[in-house]
């Protein structure tokens, strides 16, 4: 599982924000629109993902952040 902790992020930024996970070829593997229930964090099941590099994208109406992560069993 991938544990996403939003820490001190402004609560209002999470409303209508989206989390996406892509493989290195740009294929969308996971997408979720966030809501008030996700404020404390989000647990994403990546057990079916193969080992490798993935791109996590957090997008609001104001900005977008992309981070790479490595999945290793």
Is the pLDDT confidence value at 44 over 80? Answer: yes
Q: Which residue has better confidence, 73 or 55?
A: 55
Q: In what helix (H) or strand (E) does residue 14 lie, and over which residues does it extend?
A: helix 11-14
Q: What is the pLDDT of residue 8?
A: 61
| Mean of pLDDT values over 23-51 | 88
Could you tell me which of 55, 59, 46, 50 has the C-alpha nearest to residue 26? 55
Is the pLDDT confidence value at 16 over 80? Answer: no
Q: Which residue has better confidence, 20 or 10?
A: 20
Q: What is the pLDDT of residue 30?
A: 96
Rounded to whole angstroms, the Cα distance separating 38 from 55 reads: 20
Q: What is the mean pLDDT of the chain?
A: 85
């Amino acid at each position: 599982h991938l544990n996403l902790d939003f820490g001190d992020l402004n609560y209002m930024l999470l409303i209508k924000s989206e989390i996406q996970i892509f493989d290195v070829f740009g294929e969308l593997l996971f997408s979720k629109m966030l809501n008030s229930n996700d404020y404390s964090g989000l647990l994403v099941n990546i057990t079916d993902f193969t080992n490798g590099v993935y791109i996590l994208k957090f997008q609001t109406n104001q900005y977008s952040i992309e981070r790479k992560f490595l999945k290793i069993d």
